[in-house]
């Protein structure tokens, strides 16, 4: 167990380390920033507006702006961001989505079939892929959520989908700002 005084020092070090990374992010050239943010959200406009909002004072400030900007995007930009995600249960070719959908990797054949059938029904009903904040969820949980969301009307489901996209963006931003900026990015 960490003693309170040690915990306080640890928290200060973590805050200091985050602010260094945040300062690096705040000073990235636009092209590098856009490339980096595209890995978080495929909406070019979202990335541009995020960079225009710099400098950020802390990670919470970044997350607040990310949420606000996402909710203000036009439909086409939301669609571009959503459509860049892999279908839940399909093969994934990027590390972020593989980590996020790790719960499907151990799913039974029955769960995978439910996801595939649910995905088809969802796309038929709503006209776009099922998007869910998958991190920490099992394949079974994602299949159950999918089944439940099939009962939503289109307007409700669009709000839910945007909320899930926001959760994914937040996690990816937190991970981005927790890693040092790569050499040569400047």
**Residue 91, pLDDT above cutoff 50:** yes
**Closest alpha carbon to 47 in 27, 77, 23:** 77
* Tens-place pLDDT, residues 135-146: 999 999 999 999
Cα–Cα distances (Å) from 33 to 22, 36, 126, 166, 185, in that order, read 12, 5, 33, 19, 9
What is the DSSP code (8-state) at residue 123? H
* CATH superfamily placement of domain 86-168: Oxo-4-hydroxy-4-carboxy-5-ureidoimidazoline decarboxylase (1.10.3330.10)
pLDDT tops 60 at residue 38: yes
Which pLDDT does position 10 carry in this prediction?
43
Give residue-wise pLDDT tens across range 105-151: 889 999 999 999 999 999 999 999 999 999 999 999 999 999 999 99
Sorted by where each begins, the domain ranges of the chain are: 7-78, 86-168
Give the closest residue to 49 by CA, choosing from 28, 66, 27. 66
Is residue 101 predicted with pLDDT exceeding 70? Answer: yes
Digit-coded pLDDT (tens) for 28-37:
999 999 999 9
pLDDT at 19: 52
CA 1 to chain centre: 32
CB atoms within 10 A of CB 23: 12
**Predicted TM-score (pTM) of this structure:** 0.84
Residue 69 neighbours by CB under 8 Å, 6+ apart: 46, 49, 50, 53
Q: Tokens 């979202």 correspond to what residue? A: 46
| Mean per-residue pLDDT of the chain | 88
Residue 75 contacts residue 37 (beta carbons within 8 Å): no
Pick the range with the lowest mean pLDDT from 82-86, 100-104, 108-112, 115-119: 100-104
- Separation of alpha carbons 129 and 95, rounded Å: 20
Structure tokens at 154: 């289109």
Tokens of 55: 């400098």
């Amino acid at each position: 167990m960490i003693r309170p005084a040690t915990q306080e020092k640890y928290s200060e070090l973590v805050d200091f380390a985050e602010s260094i990374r945040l300062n690096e992010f705040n000073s990235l050239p636009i092209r590098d920033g856009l490339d980096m943010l595209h890995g978080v959200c495929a909406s070019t406009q979202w990335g541009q507006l995020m960079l225009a909002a710099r400098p950020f004072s802390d990670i919470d400030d970044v997350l607040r702006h990310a949420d606000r900007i996402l909710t203000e995007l036009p439909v086409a930009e939301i669609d571009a961001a959503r459509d860049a995600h892999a279908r839940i249960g399909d093969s994934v070719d990027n590390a972020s989505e593989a980590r996020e959908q790790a719960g499907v990797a151990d799913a039974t054949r029955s769960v995978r079939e439910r996801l595939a059938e649910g995905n088809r029904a969802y796309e038929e009903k709503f006209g776009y892929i099922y998007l869910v904040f998958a991190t920490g969820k099992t394949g079974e949980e994602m299949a159950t959520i999918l089944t439940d969301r099939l009962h939503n009307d289109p307007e409700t489901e669009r709000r839910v989908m945007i909320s899930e996209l926001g959760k994914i963006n937040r996690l990816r931003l937190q991970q981005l700002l927790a890693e040092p900026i790569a050499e040569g990015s400047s």
